[in-house]
A and B are shown apart, each in its own frame.
Chain A
Amino acid sequence: MTAITLDHEHEHHGPPHGLRRWLFSTNHKDIGTMYLIFALIMLFMGGASAMLIRMELFMPGLQLLEPDLYNNLVTNHALLMIFGAVMPAAAGMANWMIPLMIGAPDMALPRMNNLSFWILPAAGTMLILSFVVPFFPGGGTQINTGWTLYPPLSIQVGMSMDFLIFAIHLLGISSVLASINIIVTIFNMRAPGMKLMQMPIFVWTWLVTAFLLILVVPVLAGGVTMLLFDRHFGTSFFNAAGGGDPVLFQHLFWFFGHPEVYILILPSFGILAAIVPTFSRKPLFGYNSLVGGMIAIMVIGMVVWAHHQYTIGMSLGAVSYFMIGTIIISIPVGLMVFNYMATMWKGSMTFETPMLFAVAILLMFSFGGLTGIMLAVVPADMQYHDSMFVVAHFHYVLLPGAVFGLFAGVFYWLPKWTGHMYNERLAKIFFWTNVISFNATFFPQHFIGLAGMPRRIVDYNVMFTEFNVISSLAAFVFGLSHLLLLYIIIDTIRRGKQAKDRVWEGAEGLEWELPSPPPYHSWTTAPVLAR
């Protein structure tokens, strides 16, 4: 699919200057950039809390952190990374790339786009306040529940929980608005003649992700609203004493929480669908099956949430259903992985940094998927539940599946966004330090988890010391390696060589028909698609 007309209209004036350009922006590129910068800031804050966690776990016993503060950091790390880093970064990429890829002049609802971004800094502030407030006199207790916020503990936490609940409300409103915008754009703004089944897979993954967000985020919002009512308005949704049921919250939470995993992973898989064909110099293998696979993931992913709650005492029939459903999901997910492998098969591959990330993701994500199948099996999960094995599993799924995919996307599209080429040598150093230290951090956690080390507990038995030391040391390298990423990005913007319009030799798609960087207003005349 290539465009043959490039009809730039030059009567448009450039961007407004100063603060107004960003504050009142309705431009999808500027808003995308702001999303990505916000996500990068949150990545470093979430990373800092992870570093503190690993410092505390370096040795058994209590060194740095009080137990409640430790658990607050665990809560904070999860929420900052999921809601602050990964989701906004993916939304930033959607803002930047979807209009370029489908030949639209901008997002369909530009003012709503501005709103959904600018809610985020407010929500981020609330989130950070929820961590900071307990340090002040009268600030109440730390949020020691973990990101799952299970009652009755979350009803007993001090006022910091109220900050957190409102932060979740704001984050939810922001992502629902962004999702509505993305779907309206995809349905109504495609270049003439581009059918749904001709869209780039990245656009498809975001279409599915946006639907998932609209379907599940409001349920979480409802759940935390009930939590708020229980805390302050005397209701008993989750109060056993008043006739409520704390397990109900777990169901509401995981009805959101499990599809959330696919919300985090699917956009990154869409990025892979752009990268793998480019560097294999072959068209994507099995386009239709990829689309079908991700719709299957969406549908099945919404009805298997209770595999996070095997230990609450469900009947045999219920746990069997959730177990089988969970294992069935590995079929469409595996299909996507195999499609990417088949795309590489007999291609003339080169290994620039985005491709290195893509290959590493397929390997490590599959590994995380295999431990996921272990955890899906009920009798095995009874043993692994709430152990460090679970921590290792979901970091193997979410770091490669979501975060590394976003890194790959940054390296792949950064030359297009900035018009400058990044430093390939530094990027490769970043890739190798990042991936090796990631594996050294989380691989040992499988062993200590299987040996019985529980998660979310500040102290541990001395028999787990060696693996924790390895894990902590590697985690510091992993954390510091992201400073290199920051340097590479700044270096690219400041000093990078001018990038070609079609940055990569094998790249296909409408975004490469535009100059690098694309003009402030692109595709003001819809491209004509070549058959």
Chain B
Amino acid sequence: MSETADLGRRKRRTMWWLGLLALGMFGFGFAMVPLYGLICNVTGMQSVDGMSDLGRRMATAGEGPGAEERWVTVKFDTTMHPELPWSINPMEGKIRVRLGESRVVNFVAENHSSQSITGQAIPSIAPWQANGFFSKLECFCFSQQTLAGNERKDMPVRFVVSPDLPPEIDSLTLSYNVMRLQGGTLAAAQ
């Protein structure tokens, strides 16, 4: 019977390392959470907010051959999450800006409910090719915003468009998605 005992042992050994492999891959899924951001940073792949080499581009803003007169249109757009009874509107829907020049645009935020509510704005740039060339120096989206009941507040955004902006782009849109926060996390809409 030693042959069957031997077969049993071999089967168990194969089973255990396959089981560990499966568990390892389950862990790998979770390891992707930090690794994903790391890979994008290390390889310089464009992440969604294109922060990787913003500093270098901004350092050269306003000098060199890129500083010649070039103007682009910047449009502003905001979308409120259905759970959030706010409105946030730019004072001007679109402005012409010179590349390399820092500009301020004011957004007016208003809470239409009587309770104090915290929200978070998520910025995005369209077209995405412009992502690395648009820098916000000051923005209400950098932190969570709390508006007291029926409060009305001015929220400034200061930004620069880099002179390295690809020449085929003459217009770009800064868009905010504003979501409601509850206990530090996004409220799940039901």
Question: Which A residues lie at the B interface, using CB under 8 A?
Answer: 108-109, 140-141, 155-156, 158, 176, 179-180, 183-184, 187-189, 214-223, 225-226, 231, 234-237, 239-242, 245, 247-248, 251-252, 255, 313-315, 317-318
Contact = CB atoms under 8 A, between A and B. Distances in A.
Contact of A218 (B7, B25, B46, B189): B25
Interface stretch (B11-19, B65-73, B148-156, B162-170): B11-19
Given A234-B184, A241-B120, A315-B44, A187 B26 contact: no
Contacts of B104: none
A235 B186 CA distance: 9
Shortest beta-carbon contacts, A-B, top 6:
A222-B29, A218-B26, A218-B25, A313-B128, A315-B46, A219-B29
Interface stretch (B30-38, B54-62, B86-94): B30-38
B14 A314 contact: no
A314 B7 CA distance: 50
Given A188-B7, A234-B185, A176 B32 contact: no
B122 interface: yes
B23 interface: yes
B48 interface: yes
B108 interface: no
A318 B25 contact: no
B122 A183 contact: no
Given A239-B186, A315-B44, A318-B45, A109 B29 contact: no
B95 interface: no
Contacts of B32: 219, 222, 248, 251-252, 255
B22 interface: yes
B149 to A, nearest CB: 21
Contacts of A219: 25-26, 28-29, 32
Given A241-B186, A315-B44, A215 B18 contact: no
A227 to B, nearest CB: 11
Chain B interface size band reads 35 or more
B18 A183 contact: yes
Contacts of A217: 22, 25
A237 B30 CA distance: 10
A239 to B, nearest CB: 5
Given A214-B21, A239-B186, A240-B122, 20 more contacts: A108-B14, A176-B22, A183-B18, A184-B14, A184-B15, A188-B14, A217-B22, A218-B24, A218-B25, A218-B29, A219-B26, A234-B183, A240-B177, A242-B184, A242-B185, A252-B32, A314-B46, A317-B45, A318-B43, A318-B45
Interface of B: 7, 10-11, 14-15, 18-19, 21-30, 32-33, 36-37, 43-46, 48, 120, 122, 128, 131, 177, 179, 181, 183-186, 188-190
Nearest to B19: A180
Contacts of B23: 218
Nearest to A159: B190
Given A184-B14, A218-B26, A313-B48, A140 B122 contact: no
Nearest to A183: B18
B14 A183 contact: yes
B190 A140 contact: yes
Contacts of A241: 120, 122, 179, 181, 185-186
A218 B22 CA distance: 6
A64 to B, nearest CB: 26
B32 to A, nearest CB: 6
Most buried by A among B33, B184, B190: B33
Nearest to B122: A240
Contacts of B48: 245, 247, 313
A348 to B, nearest CB: 42
Given A140-B190, A237-B33, A251-B32, A222 B15 contact: no
25 contacts: A108-B11, A109-B15, A141-B190, A156-B189, A179-B18, A184-B14, A184-B18, A187-B14, A188-B10, A218-B25, A219-B25, A220-B29, A222-B26, A222-B28, A236-B186, A240-B177, A240-B179, A241-B122, A248-B36, A251-B32, A251-B36, A252-B32, A317-B43, A318-B45, A318-B46
Given A240-B122, A252-B29, A313-B128, A231 B188 contact: yes
Contacts of A216: 25
A487 B58 CA distance: 72
Contacts of A313: 46, 48, 128, 131
Contact of A221 (B26, B44, B120, B185): B26
A233 to B, nearest CB: 9
A401 B138 CA distance: 55
Nearest to B14: A184
Contacts of A179: 18
B11 A215 contact: no
Contacts of A247: 48
Contacts of A252: 29, 32
A223 B25 CA distance: 11
Nearest to B18: A180
Nearest to B132: A315
B45 A239 contact: no
Contacts of A218: 22-26, 28-29
A141 B190 CA distance: 8
Contacts of A317: 43, 45
Nearest to A222: B29
A447 to B, nearest CB: 30
A220 B22 CA distance: 12
Contacts of A215: 21, 25
A221 B23 CA distance: 11
Contacts of A237: 33
A199 B21 CA distance: 24
B18 A214 contact: yes
Contacts of A314: 45-46
B49 to A, nearest CB: 10
Contacts of B21: 214-215
Contacts of A222: 26-30, 32
Nearest to A179: B18
A158 B18 contact: no
A32 B46 CA distance: 48
